[in-house]
Each structure stands twice: as structure tokens, then as C-alpha cells.
Amino acid sequence: MSAEGRVRLMDAGKMAEIISRMSEEIAEAFSGSVGSALLVGIHTRGVYLARRISQRLAETRSWDIPVGKLDINLYRDDWTRLHSYPVVRSTHIPVSIDNRDVILVDDVLYTGRTIRAALDGLLDFGRPRRVHLAVLIDRGHRELPICAQYIGQVVETLPGQHVHVLLEEVDGRDEVVLTD
Ligand SMILES: O=P(O)(O)OC[C@H]1O[C@H](OP(=O)(O)OP(=O)(O)O)[C@H](O)[C@@H]1O
Ligand SMILES: O=c1cc[nH]c(=O)[nH]1
């Protein structure tokens, strides 16, 4: 950690490399069943990461994997601690999820509560065959038995620290920073 309590974990080049590698891992896992795959990004940055993975698979494999977006705020078990009301953003799942292989995508995996809520939200749409999880950063400290199948980078962190994922589409640049 630098003197300012801020350390850069990823720059734009490294992020692009990592997203390519994760896309390749997903491609290998779905090579026999791409027709059933559906990427679902969790608001906010998971949606853009899911789009990047889909775009990468279009470039490298000519696959056209649909991308949905899921807002999990209504399903959180801790929203009253975060706001006095749940902030609801848009959810859009473009195809039926019944018997699909869904790949949930998020930027950071920490306690696992967001993913638990995402599973609740997703299952309101139907019954997928399988659900996998892809995250750019796994920072540990799980409070629920949840793990990701595709991980960009595992980062050792202290509970009081924060991982900030910045994306061009939202923040104007690609970067991951760990702060105290
Ligand atoms: O595993 P967890 O402890 O649930 O933490 C991970 C979640 O926290 C962040 O979302 P946040 O609630 O900060 O919202 P944001 O993505 O809209 O910034 C991040 O984007 C993950 O979705
Ligand atoms: O460090 C963290 C923890 C939760 N969510 C984040 O985006 N970063």
C-alpha cells in the first residue's frame, strides 16, 4: 500500500488482458453449448463487463451471446442499512432463462450478499439449467457460501479496505484501485 493509502491493482491494458482471458475460459466451458448461454450483468459495472465479454466472444468465436442486466437492490437483505428505501434501476432479461446456462457477471465479489440477491432476482424469471459466476475481482471475506467460476484477479484485502473498479463506460477510464 502506498503512503496515500491507495494502490493501483489494474490499468486499462491489464484489464483488457484479463477480460480476454476470462472470455477464453468461458469460451472453453461453453464450447459445446453456446446456444444455451446467457450473460447477465449486475448493475452497475457488471452490465458493462458482461457486454465486453460478449463482444470479445463475438470477435474471437463469432458467437452472439445475449446480454441481460439485473438490478438486485429490491432483493438485498441489507438495503435498509444502505438507504431508507431501495433504489430501483432497470432489469432486462432479453430471452427466457428456462434451461439456459446463465453466467452472472459482476465487478467485485466480497461478502457474497449481492450474488445471493442476484440469484433470487434471476430465479424470479424462470429456472436456468446452470448458473455460473464471473467477477473481475475476488477480494475474499465471504459471509455466504458463494464462489466464482471465472475470476479476473484474486486480491488479498483487509475488511476496512475498498476495491474501486472504474470502467470507461461509467467512469471515463479503466482502472482498479484498492484504498484504505
Ligand atoms: O459481495 P458483496 O459484499 O455484496 O459486494 C460486492 C458488490 O458491491 C459492489 O456493489 P455496490 O453495492 O457498491 O453497488 P454499485 O456496483 O452500484 O457501486 C460491487 O459492484 C458488487 O456488486
Ligand atoms: O471493496 C469493495 C466491496 C464491495 N464492493 C466493492 O465494489 N468494493
Distance 127 CA to ligand 2 centre (A): 29
Model confidence at 2: pLDDT above 70: no
Residues with Cβ within 8 Å of 156's Cβ and at least 6 positions away in sequence, in order, are 139, 140
Distance 75 CA to ligand 2 centre (A): 18
CA-closest candidate to residue 168, choices 89, 21, 40, 52: 52
CA-closest candidate to residue 131, choices 163, 167, 93, 74: 93
**ipTM of this predicted complex?**
0.94
Please report the beta strands in the chain, taking only residues with DSSP state E, as ranges in sequence order. 6-10, 37-42, 67-70, 101-109, 130-138, 150-154, 162-166, 175-179
Say yes or no: CB of residue 133 within 6 Å of ligand 1: no
Answer with the residue of higher pLDDT: 10 or 90: 10
d(CA 7, CA 148): 24
What the block records as the C-alpha cell of 26 is 468461458
Cα 68 to chain centroid distance, Å, stands at 12
d(CA 25, CA 85): 38
Task: Give the global pTM.
Answer: 0.93
Tell which atom from ligand 2 comes closest to the C-alpha of 165.
7
What is the number of other CB atoms lying within 10 angstroms of the CB of residue 91?
A: 18
* Ligand with smallest separation from the Cα of 107: 1
Q: How confident is the model at residue 109 (pLDDT cuts 50, 70, 90)?
A: very high
| Count, residues in the chain | 180
Distance 92 CA to ligand 2 centre (A): 24
Domain boundaries, the chain: 13-27+35-162
d(CA 125, CA 93): 8
Pocket test residue of 49, 78, 108 for ligand 1, highest count of atoms within 8 A of CB? 108
13-27+35-162 has which CATH code?
A: 3.40.50.2020
**To the nearest whole number, what is the mean pLDDT of the chain?**
93
d(CA 87, CA 72): 10
pLDDT in tens, 21-79: 999 999 999 988 889 999 999 999 999 999 999 999 999 999 999 999 999 887 777 65
Distance 61 CA to ligand 1 centre (A): 30
Model confidence at 107: pLDDT above 50: yes
pLDDT in tens, 115-154: 999 999 999 999 999 999 999 999 999 999 999 999 999 9
Pocket test residue of 76, 110, 166, 175 for ligand 2, highest count of atoms within 8 A of CB? 110
Tell which atom from ligand 2 comes closest to the C-alpha of 162.
1
Give yes or no for a contact between 79 and 46, defined as CB atoms under 8 angstroms apart. no
What the block records as the C-alpha cell of 36 is 444455451
